Amino acid sequence: MWKRIAAALAGIVILLAAVVLWRASRLTSRQPAVEAAPAAVVDTAAAAAHLAGAIRFRTISHQQGQGTDSAAFLALHAYLADAYPRTHEALTRETVSDLSLLYTWQGSEPDLDPIVLMAHQDVVPVIPGTEAAWEHPPFGGDVADGFVWGRGSMDDKLNDISILEAVEELVAGGFTPRHTIYLAFGHDEEIGGLHGAREIQRLLAARGVERFAFVVDEGGAVVRGMIPGIERPVALVGIAEKGYASVELTVDAEGGHSSTPPPHTAIGVLSRAITRLEDHPFPARLDGPAREMFAFTGPEMSLGGRVLFGNLWLFSPLLTRMLLATPASAAMVRTTTAATIIEGGVKDNVPPIHARAVVNHRILPGETVPSVLERDRRIIDDERVQLHALGDDGRDPSPVSDPTSPAFSLLARTVRQVLAGEDVVVAPYLVMGGTDSKYYAQVSPNVFRFSAAPMAADALERVHGTNERISVEGLATNVRFYARLIRNSDGM
C-alpha cells in the first residue's frame, strides 16, 4: 500500500512539475515590437540651461498657514514665455487660480478626444538644517558634472521644461497635432492640487471638455536593478495611484496627579491603540496593478522567474511573502499604516487630559477611506479612542487604467522607440504617492504616470531630500519622449 501511495505522490509531483514548466514556457512577451523612429532634435545644453533657470524661482508650496510666494510663480511664468517664444505664439496660455497654467494647442481635427500632458510648477521646501549638505545650492540651478542640480530638477520642473522643449521644437518644425493637446501645469501639487489641477479640470469640464484620449502626468520612471531577474532597464508606468487618509486618534481623560495615576493615562490608551494598528497590518493582496506588473515583467526573466510568474496560481502566496519582506515592496500589495504625529501632556507630573495622534494610510485599490476607518475602529476596539478622518484631503484610490488598452500600447511603443538602444521593458505599476492626475481619473479611462528620464537607485532619497538632481542626458531623453509621444498620438 505504501508503495502505491508513494508512486501516486511521485506521479502527482511529476505532473505538477510538468504543468509548471509548460506554463512557464508559454509565457510570451508583452513588449510591442517597434522600429527605430527619427529622434527629436534636442538642444541638450539649452534644455539644461532652461531647467536650471526654472529651478532658480522659489516656487515653494508650504503647508497651511505659511502662504505662497505668488511673485515667484509669476516670475517663472514670465521666464517661460521668454524661453519658449514659438510655443507662446502658437498655443493659447491662460492662468487658472492666478498661478496655474493651462496651454491649449488646437488640433487639426477638433472632434477627436483631446490629450492632457501634466506637470507642476511647485516644489517642496528644503529641509531646515540641511542646506550645508547640498553639493550645489538648492535654488542655484547649477549645471555641473553632467547634472542639473536643485529643488525641482526631478519633481517636477523636469516635466514642465521637457514638455515645453518638445513643443517648442515641434512648433518650429511646423507640426500641428490632430488631437487638441492641453498642457496643464498646476501650482500646488505638493499640497494636494486643490486650487491648481482640480480647478484646471473643472474649467475644462465647464467648457464641455469632459473626455480625453489619454492623460500623462509624473509618477513613473525608467529604473534599472529594481525588478529582480531583469538586468535591462524597466519603464514603470503608473496605471493607478494609492488613496490617502490621515486618521486622527484622540483620547480624553480626567487628569489628576502623577503620584496617583490611573491604570492607563490618555497617553497609555493612545499608545495601545497605535500599537494595535501596527501589530495588525492590512492584509496583503497580489492583484490589480501589482499583478499586472509581474504579468509584463515575468516573460522577460530567466527560467526561474518565468516559473514563478507563469504560475501565480501556485506561487502567489510565496511571492506575496517575498514582497512583504521589505517596506518598499510591501507597499505594493497592502494598505500601509504609519503613525506620524503624537501629542499629549504639558508637565512631567501631570497626566494629560487630552492626547492626540495621527496615523497615515496609503490605500490599496479595492479599499476606500470609509472601509479603512471602519477597520481601524475594529482593530483598536476601545471606546475611549475617538477616530475621524483628518481634514478634507482624504481620497480613495484612483481607478486602474487598462494596460491592454490602445493608449497604453501607444505609450509603451513610444518608450521603446525613444530607448530603442537599451531594449527597455515597459510595465504597469502602482504609484505609492499622489499626483495631480487623480483629478482626471473620472473623465478618462487612460491616465498614466510616467517620466522617461532614467532614475538612479538613490532617486527616492533625492527627490524630496538633499541634492536633488537630474542628469542632463536624462533630461534630453525626457524631451525626446514627449516629442515622440505627441507625434505618435496622431496615429490614434
pLDDT at 37 over 90: no
pLDDT of residue 36: 77
Measured between alpha carbons, how far is 57 from 73 in angstroms, rounded to an integer? 7
How far out from the chain centre does Cα 97 lie?
Answer: 24
pLDDT digits (tens, 9 = 90+) for 185-240: 999 999 999 999 999 999 999 999 989 999 999 999 999 988 888 999 999 999 99
Q: Which domains does the chain have, with CATH numbers?
A: 44-239+399-489 (3.40.630.10), 242-389 (3.30.70.360)
Three-state secondary structure of the chain: CHHHHHHHHHHHHHHHHHHHHHHHHCCCCCCCCCCCCCCCCCCHHHHHHHHHHHHCCCCECCCCCCCCCHHHHHHHHHHHHHHCHHHHHHCEEEEECCCEEEEEECCCCCCCCCEEEEEECCECCCCCCCHHHCCCCCCCCCEECCEEECCCCCCCHHHHHHHHHHHHHHHHCCCCCCCCEEEEEECCHHHCCCCCHHHHHHHHHHCCCCCCCEEEECCCEEECCCCCCCCCCEEEEEEEECEEEEEEEEEECCCCCCCCCCCCCHHHHHHHHHHHHHHCCCCCCCCHHHHHHHHHHHHHCCHHHHHHHCCHHHHHHHHHHHHCCCHHHHCCCCCEEEEEEEEECCECCECCCEEEEEEEEEECECECHHHHHHHHHHHHCCCCEEEEECCCCCECCCCCCCCCCHHHHHHHHHHHHHCHHHCCEEEEEEECCCCHHHHHCCCCCCEEECCCCECCCCHHHHHCCCCCEEEHHHHHHHHHHHHHHHHHHCCC
Residue 26 pLDDT class (50, 70, 90 cuts): confident
241 is catalytic: no
pLDDT of residue 471: 97
The pLDDT > 70 percentage for the chain reads 98
**Region for 229 from its dihedrals, namely left if φ exceeds 0, alpha if ψ lies in -120 to 50, beta otherwise:** left
Beta strands across the sheet bearing 147-149:
143-144, 147-149, 469-471
The x, y and z cell numbers of residue 301, run together, are: 526573466
pLDDT digits (tens, 9 = 90+) for 331-364: 999 999 999 999 999 999 999 999 999 999 999 9
Measured between alpha carbons, how far is 400 from 216 in angstroms, rounded to an integer? 14
Mean pLDDT, rounded, of the chain = 94
43 is catalytic: no
pLDDT of residue 8: 64
pLDDT at 257 over 90: no
pTM, to two decimals: 0.94
pLDDT digits (tens, 9 = 90+) for 429-483: 999 999 999 999 989 999 999 999 999 888 888 999 999 999 999 999 999 999 9
* Cα-based torsion angle of the residue sequence 388, 390, 393, 396 in order, rounded to the nearest 10 degrees: -30
pLDDT of residue 40: 81
Residue 379 pLDDT class (50, 70, 90 cuts): very high
Residue 393 pLDDT class (50, 70, 90 cuts): low
**Region for 334 from its dihedrals, namely left if φ exceeds 0, alpha if ψ lies in -120 to 50, beta otherwise:** beta
pLDDT of residue 81: 98
pLDDT of residue 21: 82
pLDDT digits (tens, 9 = 90+) for 49-80: 999 999 999 999 987 657 789 999 999 999 99
Task: Give me the catalytic one of 189, 190, 376, 436.
Answer: 189
Q: First CA to last CA across the chain, in angstroms? A: 66
Residue 41 pLDDT class (50, 70, 90 cuts): confident
**Region for 145 from its dihedrals, namely left if φ exceeds 0, alpha if ψ lies in -120 to 50, beta otherwise:** left
Measured between alpha carbons, how far is 121 from 77 in angstroms, rounded to an integer? 10
